[in-house]
């Protein structure tokens, strides 16, 4: 039952975000924020596919234990593309709200992002091992969580100041995704049922993509 449900859910998720991303890339009518948003959505979907597709195959065949190395490398790729996702989202914020300057914030985004990627690439993560250390799972997610917090603050403040209704809940989607993701990082190995939080986390990302897509459609009807 888990194999069927999870596989169908992941297929729906991947097709949805990648399709919406492609539509935004093709139909943005020269609006840079929606082009960036489309690239962001495709990056999200393609990156997650490196982990979700092998996981679906494993669940439907001989089990996760036989795919440890492949799943681990997939998680590494997903970790990096998810970081790129938030960098692109930052630049969506800059374009949407016509932000210039504030080089300190841009520097912080890049320092946190590159720190996250470098930590992900360290061999101590033991991605291909069945006994990857929890400590490194925490280390690599510290800059990631700080990056997410920064994105939350930026979108919350700007959407409120500009009365930007299409993007008024984008900050919340990021909060929800991290609220579900962090417990999985910390407790999923000891309490496997915690892994079910990845479902609402995934839904939060679909919501994020839909916010941009619906905003693009709304801008064309005005």
Domain count of the fold of the chain: 1
Output the CA–CA distances (angstroms, integers) from residue 77 to 12, 52, 82, 214, in the order listed.
Answer: 20, 11, 8, 28
User: What pLDDT score does 220 carry?
Assistant: 58
User: What pLDDT score does 63 carry?
Assistant: 87
Give the domain extent around 105.
Answer: 2-221
User: What pLDDT score does 9 carry?
Assistant: 94
For 4, list phi and psi in degrees, rounded to 5.
-65, -50
Instruction: Give the DSSP letter of residue 28.
Output: S
Q: Which of 220, 216, 203 is nearest to 10 (CA)?
A: 203
What would the two tokens of residue 136 be? Answer: 């490194």
For 190, list phi and psi in degrees, rounded to 5.
-80, -35
For 54, list phi and psi in degrees, rounded to 5.
-60, -35
Instruction: Give the DSSP letter of residue 31.
Output: -
How many other β-carbons are positioned within 10 Å of the β-carbon of residue 50?
19
User: What pLDDT score does 2 carry?
Assistant: 74
Task: Residue 76: give its domain's CATH number.
Answer: 1.20.1070.10
User: What pLDDT score does 210 carry?
Assistant: 97
Compute the distance between CA of residue 86 and CA of residue 205 in angstroms, rounded to an integer. 11
Compute the distance between CA of residue 68 and CA of residue 62 in angstroms, rounded to an integer. 12
List of the chain residues with pLDDT < 70: 220-222
pTM of the predicted model as reported, rounded to 2 decimal places: 0.94
Compute the distance between CA of residue 71 and CA of residue 91 in angstroms, rounded to an integer. 30
Compute the distance between CA of residue 199 and CA of residue 205 in angstroms, rounded to an integer. 10
């Amino acid at each position: 039952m888990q194999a069927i449900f999870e596989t169908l859910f992941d297929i729906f998720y991947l097709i949805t975000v990648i399709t919406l991303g492609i539509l935004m890339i093709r139909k943005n009518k020269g609006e840079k924020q929606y082009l960036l948003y489309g690239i962001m959505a495709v990056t999200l979907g393609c990156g997650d596919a490196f982990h979700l597709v092998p996981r679906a195959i494993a669940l439907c065949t001989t089990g996760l234990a036989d795919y440890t190395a492949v799943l681990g490398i997939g998680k590494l790729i997903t970790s990096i593309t998810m970081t790129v996702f938030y960098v692109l989202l930052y630049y969506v914020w800059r374009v949407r709200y016509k932000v210039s300057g504030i080089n300190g914030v841009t520097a912080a985004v890049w320092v946190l992002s590159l720190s996250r990627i470098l930590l992900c690439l360290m061999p101590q993560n033991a991605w291909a091992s069945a006994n990857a250390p929890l400590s490194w799972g925490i280390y690599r997610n510290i800059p990631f969580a700080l990056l997410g917090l920064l994105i939350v603050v930026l979108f919350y403040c700007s959407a409120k100041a500009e009365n930007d209704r299409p993007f008024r809940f984008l900050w919340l989607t990021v909060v929800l995704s991290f609220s579900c993701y962090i417990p999985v990082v910390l407790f999923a190995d000891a309490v496997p049922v915690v892994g079910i939080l990845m479902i609402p986390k995934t839904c939060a990302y679909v919501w994020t993509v839909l916010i941009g897509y619906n905003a693009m459609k709304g801008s064309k009807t005005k």
